[in-house]
Structure 1
C-alpha cells in the first residue's frame, strides 16, 4: 500500500517570522527550562517587530532581549528571572518606569489560561489563588460562584482565569517531520497546550527527520501535524538554554547576562553585535565558536527500544 503524501511545511526562520509575527500580535514563546525558542526571538528583533504582547510562562533571557529590542509593549507571565543567575535588567527597568504593561499570573494560572484557550472555554477554574496576593494586582483573575454545592452543602466561590489565545505560538523541540509531527522528550512543559490555544503555530526543531523516524516512536509525538503551520529547522536554536540530548545549558552565558542587562548601553551593544549584527542564527552559532559548543556537548544516554507489536 502506498503512503499518503504529506504536506511539506518546512520554511526558513526568516520567512516564518515574516509571515506569522506581525506588529501588534500576541506571541506565545514556550519551552520550560530547556527547549526555549531563543533563535526565534532573535529573528523577531532582527525584523524589527513592534508593539507585541509576549506570553511566556517563565519570562527569562530571551524575553529581556525582546524587550530591549523595543519589540514588546505588554508581557503576560508568571516567574521572571535569569534562571537562578540574577535579574533581567531591561524588563525590570521598563516595568518600574511604567513603560511595559505586565499581567502577572502563577505558573498554574498560565497553564490554566492555555488550557482554556486550547479547549475554547470562556474561563478555567483553579483553587491555588486562595490566600494569594496575586489577584489583588491582576483584575483578570476573578471569582465566580460554582453552580454546584460545596462539600458542606453551601455555596462556593472559586477563582477563574480567562483563556489565552495567541495569534501565534512558537515552540522549540528536538525533532519533527516535514509535515509538523513534533517530538519532545525530557521536560515537556506547556508547549502542546500553547500550540492548540493559538491561531497559528510555528515549531522550531534541532532537526527535521524522515517520516519513518517519527512513526517508529509515536508516543514521543507531543504536537501532531494538524496543529502546526510551519516547521523551521534551526540547530542549536535554544542557546543559552539546553536541549535534552543535543547540548547542555550555557551557565557562563546566564551569569554574564546579569552584567550585560544591568547596563543599558552594554545591552544595546550586545544586541547590535550578536543579534542585529548577525544575518541569522547560523551566523550567531558560528560566532560563538566551536570551543564554546564543545564545552556544551553532552554524552549519550539512549532510551531502550520498545516493541509496539504489529499484525502478522
Structure 2
C-alpha cells in the first residue's frame, strides 16, 4: 500500500453517498432550478416531489416526459413556474385539475408550458448527456408542434441527401437540468443503481444533469450489484446522492416490490378537479406529514394487501470467471 492509499474502511466511507431525503433535497434542489423528475409509468420519484413541496421550493422549471400526478401536486404546492413535457395527464385515469386550471385559465396563476413529443424529449436528454448543441430527428415533419414551440428548429445537413441536395432536418436543443431525481429498485452506497422492468430515460436524464439524486427501494451491499452488473443502469460516478426510501414511488409501481395503485389514480381527477378538496388533500397528506414514512403510515397497511406482488424470479445468469 502506497503512502497516500486509503485503508479499505476509509475508502468505503469516501464512496458513501447515502443521505436522508430531507438532506438530499435541501442540498441539491434550490429555488429557480431546473429539476428533472424521470420515471416512465414505473418508478416515479413521488416521495422526492413531496419533499420538494414540504421544503417550499419556488420558481422551479420541471422537466418530465410524462407530467402526471406528482407534477400536479408540485403545482398545487406552488413550486413550479414552468413545465417542459411531452405528455400531461393522469396516466389513462383522468385529468390533472391543477395543471388544467393554470394552462387553460391562468388560475391561480399561469404556467409556462414547453411541449415536445416523447421522442423529442428523448433527443433533448441525449443531446444534454452528450453535451451536443442539438439533436436531429425526423418525426416533426407534418406536425404542428414546431408552430407552437420555437425551440424546435430546422438546420441544413452538411451532407448531400439522396437527391444530391443538402437536407433540411428538425432539431431540438439539449436539456441540462440543475438536478435530476430518479427512483430505482436498488443501489449500493456509492450510487451504482440497478433498474429492471420499464427503464424509461433515467440514465440519459442523469447524465444530462449537473447533479443527480437517486432514490431507491433499498440500499444493498456492493456484492449484490457486482453479482449482476448488467442491471446497473446508472453508474456511481454520475450520482451525487443515494436516498433509501421504500415505497417512494407510490402511487406508481416498482417492479418486484409493489403494484400500481390504480384506485389512487382513479381518485385523483376528483381530488384535483376541486381546488378546495385539493388544498385539503395537500394539507393532510403532504404538509401534514413530516416525511414519506408518515405518508405511508396513513395508508394503513394497503401495501401489505392491495398492492402486494408475488414472485416472478428471473433465472440465474452465469457470467463466468477464469479458473
1:154 to partner: Cα distance: 1.6
Q: Structure 1 segments of 4 or more deviating over 4 A?
A: 1-4
2:127·2:173 contact (CA, 8 Å) conserved in 1? yes
Q: In the alignment, is the contact (CA less than 8 A) between 2:258 and 2:303 conserved in 1?
A: no
Q: Which residue of 2 aligns with 1:60?
A: 68
Match of 1:22 in 2: 30
Comparing 146-155 with 299-308, greater Cα deviation is found at: 146-155
2-structure distance, mates of 1:258, 1:291: 21
| Alpha-carbon separation, structure 2, partners of 1:165 and 1:215 | 30
Of 53-62 and 293-302, more deviation after overlay is shown by: 293-302
* Residue 309 of structure 1, CA deviation: 0.6
Question: In 1, distance between residues paired with 2:35 and 2:302?
Answer: 34
Could you give the per-residue CA deviations for residues 138-182 of structure 1, whole angstroms, max 9, x where no partner exists?
Answer: 000000011111112122100000000000000000000000000
Q: Equivalent residue of 2:139, what SS?
A: coil
Corresponding position: 1:169 with 2:180: yes
Question: Are 1:280 and 2:291 an aligned pair?
Answer: yes
Distance (Å, rounded) in 2 between the aligned partners of 1:295 and 1:252: 10
Deviation at 1:293, TM superposition (A): 4.1
Pair 1:271–1:183, CA change in 2 (3 A): same
Shift, 1:33, TM fit? 0.7
SS in 1 for 2:133: coil
Q: How many residues align?
A: 312
- Corresponding residue for 1:258? 269
The equivalent position to 2:259 in structure 1, one of 227, 233, 248, is: 248
TM-score, length-scaled by structure 2: 0.95
**Is 1:12–2:20 an aligned residue pair?**
yes
Q: Secondary structure in 2 aligned to 1:189? A: coil
Among 139, 142, 154, the alignment partner of 1:128 is: 139
What secondary structure, in the 3-state scheme, does the structure 1 residue paired with 2:132 have? coil
Q: How is 1:229-244 mapped onto 2 (pairs within 5 angstroms)?
A: 229-244=240-255
RMSD of aligned C-alpha atoms? 1.2
Residues of 2 paired with 1:61 and 1:219: CA distance? Answer: 31
Aligned residue for 2:4? none
Structure 1, 290-299 or 20-29: larger mean CA deviation: 290-299
1:181 is aligned to 192
Tell me if 1:91 matches 2:99.
yes
- Residues 82, 143 of structure 1: alpha-carbon distance in 2 compared, 3 angstrom cutoff: same
Q: Is the aligned partner of 1:145 residue 2:153? A: no
**Structure 1 residues 292 and 236: CA distance shift in structure 2, 3 A:** closer
Distance 1:74 1:125, change over 3 A: same
